[in-house]
């Protein structure tokens, strides 16, 4: 992965621009063979770093690294399934002249913690989940001249994360983010 980023960086029109990103997650699961209406969303957060690399006038590659709280809740009781990841999304972005950007790309996740909370008792469940996750992200962002921006991304899992049973479990996460690019003139230079 580092080699791919370095190759793109070598063909980039400018130096990478770095930034910070944080926001709210609305996460749930798609579970095969189960009534998915029995699950509610887990509200969480994400926080991380990003690098924005122009590869053409209106096209950029944006690799990120973020800590992300994910999982689901049981709709009929207070049970919560918490799976937290270090995620590395690699978004290909098309930038419009007005500051809007659309994006799509893969996301790779490494499981950090997994806990099942039942009746206010937390149980370590890391052995019940696979250590890695893969998803596809689609999003829309807006970057202002101040360097601050806002964005939304939906990532749907393509890998089964269940390591303890027959039913396939896939992550689904809606993220709403605020971000800041350290190069304040980045939007003006992007036009």
Three-state SS letters, the chain = CHHHHHHHHHHCCCCCEEEEEEEEEEEEEEECCCCHHHEECEEEEEEEEEEEEEEECCEEEEEEEEEEEEEEEECCCCCEEEEEEEEEEEEEEEECCCCEEEEEEEEEEEEEEEEEEECCEEEECHHHECCEEEEEEEEEEEECCCCEEEEEEEEEECCCCECCCCCCEEEEEEEEEEEEECCCCHHHHHC
Average pLDDT, stretch 35-53? 92
The confidence band for 77, taking pLDDT boundaries of 50, 70 and 90, is confident
Q: Which of 95, 84, 107 is nearest to 140 (CA)?
A: 95
Query: What is the model's pLDDT at position 3?
Result: 47
Alpha carbon of 79 to those of 55, 83, 146: distances in Å? 46, 13, 42
C-alpha R_g of the chain: 18
Question: How many residues are listed for the chain in this entry?
Answer: 191
Alpha-carbon distance of 120 to 153, in angstroms, equals 31
Query: What is the model's pLDDT at position 189?
Result: 58
End-to-end CA distance of the chain: 29
For the beta carbon of residue 156, count every other beta carbon within 10 angstroms.
15
- The residue with greater pLDDT, 31 or 165, is 31
The confidence band for 2, taking pLDDT boundaries of 50, 70 and 90, is very low
- Domains of the chain and any CATH numbers: 2-190 (2.40.160.20)
What is the value of pTM for the model shown? 0.87
Average pLDDT, stretch 28-33? 91
Within a 13 Å sphere around the CA of 74, how many CA atoms are in the beta-carbon half? 10
């Amino acid at each position: 992965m580092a080699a791919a980023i370095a190759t793109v960086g070598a063909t980039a029109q400018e130096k990478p621009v770095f930034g910070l990103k944080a926001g709210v997650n609305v996460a749930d699961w798609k579970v095969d063979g189960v009534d998915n209406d029995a699950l509610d969303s887990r509200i969480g957060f994400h926080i991380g770093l990003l690098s924005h690399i122009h590869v053409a006038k209106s096209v950029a590659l944006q690799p990120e690294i973020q800590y992300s709280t994910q999982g689901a809740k049981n709709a009929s009781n207070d049970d919560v399934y918490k799976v937290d990841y270090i995620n590395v999304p690699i978004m290909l972005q098309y930038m419009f002249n007005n500051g809007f950007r659309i994006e799509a790309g893969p996301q790779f996740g490494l499981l950090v913690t997994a806990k099942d909370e039942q009746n206010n008792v937390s149980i370590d469940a890391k052995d019940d989940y696979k250590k890695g996750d893969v998803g596809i992200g689609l999003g829309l962002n807006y970057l202002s001249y101040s360097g601050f921006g806002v964005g939304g991304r939906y990532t749907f899992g393509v890998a089964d994360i269940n390591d303890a049973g027959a039913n396939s479990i896939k992550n689904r996460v809606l993220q709403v983010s605020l971000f800041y690019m350290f190069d304040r003139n980045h939007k003006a230079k992007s036009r």
